[in-house]
Amino acid sequence: MNINKIYPLASRGVAALLFLIGLIVTVLIYSAGKESFESRVQLGIDVAIYSVVLIIVVFAIFMIRGVILNPRMLIKSGLSLGVIIILFFVFYQMSSDYVTLEGKSVEYVAMVKTIPSSTLKMIEAGISTMFLLIGLSLAALLGTEIWKIFK
């Protein structure tokens, strides 16, 4: 069998396995009684952690395979990552650490006051970067579809 046919099958198999495991754990948690609820939730957390590790390993395998088959892809990916990092730092410099606390509960105000200002700036920068990248991807998608119509 060709190796290019194995990888899509493997990725679909891993996705199906993770879906099945998640479904089983969800059913176990929802069917738990009061006495076994905590242990089943802990099982769900453990399964989630192992699933994330499995996804990272599979992602790393595919990434290494892609770099070996197409080394130029690494340069393009690095440039793209560099642009995203630059955008993040631009938004970080533009973001503020001010949070409106009017009308909030005492517990909420106390919680927000314990958060460092750099963390608040990181959160705002991350959200702004995400919104910009989503907007750019939607614009590129729309532009591609319009280009196909007139082509």
Q: What is the pLDDT of residue 4?
A: 61
Query: Which sequence spans correspond to the domains of the chain?
Result: 1-69, 72-151
Q: What is the pLDDT of residue 5?
A: 67
Q: What is the pLDDT of residue 7?
A: 67
What confidence tens digit (pLDDT) does each residue in 25-71 have? 888 878 877 777 888 888 888 888 888 888 788 778 877 887 788 88
Give the phi and the psi of residue 50 in degrees, each rounded to 5.
-65, -35
Q: What is the pLDDT of residue 146?
A: 94
Give the phi and the psi of residue 58 in degrees, each rounded to 5.
-65, -40
Question: Positive or negative, the Cα torsion across 95, 96, 100, 105?
Answer: positive
- Residue 2: pLDDT over 60: no
pTM of the complete model beyond 0.75: no
